[in-house]
Amino acid sequence: MLRRMTIVSAFAAVVLGPSAYGAEQTGTLPPQVQAAAESGPAATDVRVGGDDKMTRFVVDLTQKIDVTAFALADPYRVVVDLPQIAFRLPPKAADQARGLVKAFRYGVIMQGGSRIVIDTKGPVRVDKAFVLDAAGDQPARLVVDLSVTDRDSFLRAASLETRAPRSPPVKPGEIASKPAGDPRPLIVLDPGHGGIDNGAKAASGELEKDVVLQFAQTLRARLEATGKYQIAMTRSDDTFIALAERVRFARAHSAALFVSIHADAIPKSEGQAEGATVYTLSENASDAEAARLAEAEHKADVSAGVELTAEPGDVANILVDLAQRETKTYSGQFARTLVGELKNTARLHKNPMKAAGFKVLTAPDVPSVLVELGYMSTKDDLKLLTSTAWQAKTATALAQAVDTYFAPRLARGAVGANR
């Protein structure tokens, strides 16, 4: 089972090294990609028409592009892969639900590639997916025709479909191995979400993916300034990365510590919550809220159209292996240290240390924690989360926790290793 952890997930994104782009690039695409997006093809409107038997999904384009489309089950989705395009849709465009289409989202899935993911009401067949040339006063149009089908036909069609690589595989060279001779421990910072996957959204529009990237950049600068650590980031721009790919990245770097950074949100019906929480991996969630959160974080892959059958095995199996290692102990040690540091600087949740079955924490040989910095859905938290001063203060506390955790290890000369 664990061997499979190293398999790149079906839609592995290209992972950028720590210094691929400047730290000032927060929450935006790198300049060359941005420039290409402005002059390159763009989607300008979306229309959904039809009924519960047949539905047509149309996207107006500024120029003709190549597309491929395929359906995924559990939950039922249709994925349309495109070259990287800009989405300049009217604000209401994404609210259309009609016929077989329940909802859809769009965005960058990897460098050079965009994706539209359509949630459907049930099993559908993709009858056609093509792009029409501009004609007369009509712009070029992407057309996806869907018709209703049953689950068995759906699954049969999906298994017959040629399994050609749907995105370029990550080339081994793209993950720089640890520079030989640098004895400093390597820490992987993992800003959650990215690209097509926005993560949690504040009522006022701020997105988790932007907040956590900005925070991770600040934290990286803090840690690098100590000179004691090598830092790598799973993403340093607005790119989607599958959960399994983040785990693979940490393992490929032989990371001594993995810190995944998020900002939670809870539905209004569940009341108010505030403050930061530190999570470690456990098969049994420490409470209902932790279970809900792990579930919500796993929707990252679903919303990006990642095929979940290609994902590694369940947490229980991973934990059996983990129990034979000291990784779990070290993750717990770091989590406790971190809560201790955050107590003095950040607002903490009333139960600040929790555990749940987070996929992103399943590297069996890398001590891993997930930090929810606060709640995007809570006004006061959001104010802090988006404030440069709070980010700086909290990054300093996190860096202090890293120092406390590594101090005895560095003193023993056991650096670079997990202990």
Using omega within 30 degrees of 0 as the cis cutoff, is the peptide bond preceding 75 cis?
A: yes
| Phi-psi category of residue 386: left, alpha or beta, with phi > 0 → left and psi -120 to 50 → alpha | alpha
- Site of tokens 């359906």: 71
Closest-by-Cβ residue to Zn ion is 262
Pairing of strands 348-356, 276-281: parallel
Q: Minimum Å distance from CB 305 to Zn ion?
A: 18
Q: Which residues in 16-120 belong to E strands, given as ranges?
A: 42-50, 54-61, 68-72, 77-83, 86-87, 101-110, 113-120
Count of residues that bind Zn ion according to CB under 5 A: 3
> In terms of Cα–Cα distance, which of 399, 398, 319 is closest to 358?
319
C-beta closer to Zn ion: residue 199 or 367: 199
C-beta closer to Zn ion: residue 129 or 371: 371
The piece of 125-133, 196-204, 343-351, 403-411 that touches Zn ion (CB under 5 A) is 196-204
C-beta closer to Zn ion: residue 85 or 360: 360
Instruction: Check binding of 374 to Zn ion (CB under 5 A).
Output: no
C-beta closer to Zn ion: residue 70 or 258: 258
Q: Minimum Å distance from CB 309 to Zn ion?
A: 23
Q: Minimum Å distance from CB 357 to Zn ion?
A: 15
**What is the token pair recorded at 331?**
């993750």
Query: Within 13 Å and on the Cβ side, how many CA atoms surround 63?
Result: 11
C-beta closer to Zn ion: residue 145 or 301: 301
Cα distance between residue 240 and residue 242, in whole Å: 7
C-beta closer to Zn ion: residue 369 or 415: 369
Q: Minimum Å distance from CB 369 to Zn ion?
A: 14
Q: Minimum Å distance from CB 263 to Zn ion?
A: 7
Instruction: Check binding of 41 to Zn ion (CB under 5 A).
Output: no
C-beta closer to Zn ion: residue 84 or 198: 198
Asked if residues 231 and 19 have their Cβ atoms less than 8 Å apart, the reply is no
The piece of 57-65, 130-138, 157-165, 188-196 that touches Zn ion (CB under 5 A) is 188-196
Binding mask 324-353 for Zn ion (x = CB under 5 A): ------------------------------
The piece of 51-59, 149-157, 195-203, 241-249 that touches Zn ion (CB under 5 A) is 195-203
Which residues ranging from 220 to 279 are in contact with Zn ion (CB under 5 A)? Answer: 262
Q: Is 389 helix (H, G, I), strand (E, B) or coil?
A: helix
Q: Minimum Å distance from CB 372 to Zn ion?
A: 7
C-beta closer to Zn ion: residue 70 or 279: 279
Instruction: Check binding of 199 to Zn ion (CB under 5 A).
Output: yes
> Residues 192, 275, 352, 374: which binds Zn ion (CB under 5 A)?
192
The piece of 138-146, 198-206, 310-318, 350-358 that touches Zn ion (CB under 5 A) is 198-206
At 270, the amino acid letter reads: E
Cα distance between residue 194 and residue 212, in whole Å: 10
**CB contact set of 72 (below 8 Å; sequence gap of 6+):** 78, 79, 158, 305, 307
Asked if residues 139 and 44 have their Cβ atoms less than 8 Å apart, the reply is yes
Cα distance between residue 161 and residue 66, in whole Å: 19
Residues that bind Zn ion (CB under 5 A): 192, 199, 262
